[in-house]
Amino acid sequence: QVQLQQWGAGLLKPSETLSLTCAVYGGSFSGYYWTWIRQPPGKGLEWIGEVTHSGNTNYNPSLKSRVTISVDTSKNQFSLKLSSATAADTAVYYCARDAYWGQGTLVTVSS
């Protein structure tokens, strides 16, 4: 059974870099798109981007200039970095692969 477990800082100041990591347990790490999605409080889901096991990425153009998604195949982990954070980036961030989702991490950006 595939499980995704994510972690990272939950409180940032404006202009800081958001950093989250997602570890994958069970199943193969190769052959899939590993995805980050976010959900502002009380709002809908927004696709941030994805990475393959070989490091190929696709990003949402609305965030592309600030987003980096990377992969560490030796640890079966993938990571999200979002630079120059503002209050608009406050959201629950999820890592996901198809039907499998992490537990979500609430990230709050506030001075």
Partner 1 sequence: DVVMTQSPLSLPVTLGQPASISCRSSQSLVYSDGDTYLNWFQQRPGQSPRRLIYKVSNRDSGVPDRFSGSGSGTDFTLKISRVEAEDVGVYYCMQGTHWPRSFGQGTKLEIK
Of residues 24-83, those binding partner 1 (CB under 8 A): 35, 44-47, 49-50, 58-62
Smallest separation (angstroms) from partner 1 to the CB of 14: 25
Return the residue of 21, 24, 77, 102 that touches partner 1, per CB under 8 A.
Answer: 102
Residue 94 touching partner 1 (CB under 8 A): yes
Between 16 and 108, CB nearer to partner 1:
108
For 51, other C-beta atoms within 10 Å of its C-beta total 22
Residues 6+ apart with CB under 8 A from 17: 81, 82, 83, 84, 85
What is the DSSP-derived secondary structure letter of residue 17?
P
The CB-of-62 to partner 1 minimum distance in angstroms stands at 8
Instruction: Name which of 28, 24, 21, 17 is nearest 3 in CA terms.
Output: 24
- Asked whether the beta carbons of 23 and 2 are under 8 A apart, the reply is no
Count of residues interacting with partner 1 (CB under 8 A): 19
Which spans of this chain sit near partner 1 (rule: CB under 8 A)?
35, 44-47, 49-50, 58-62, 94, 98-99, 101-104
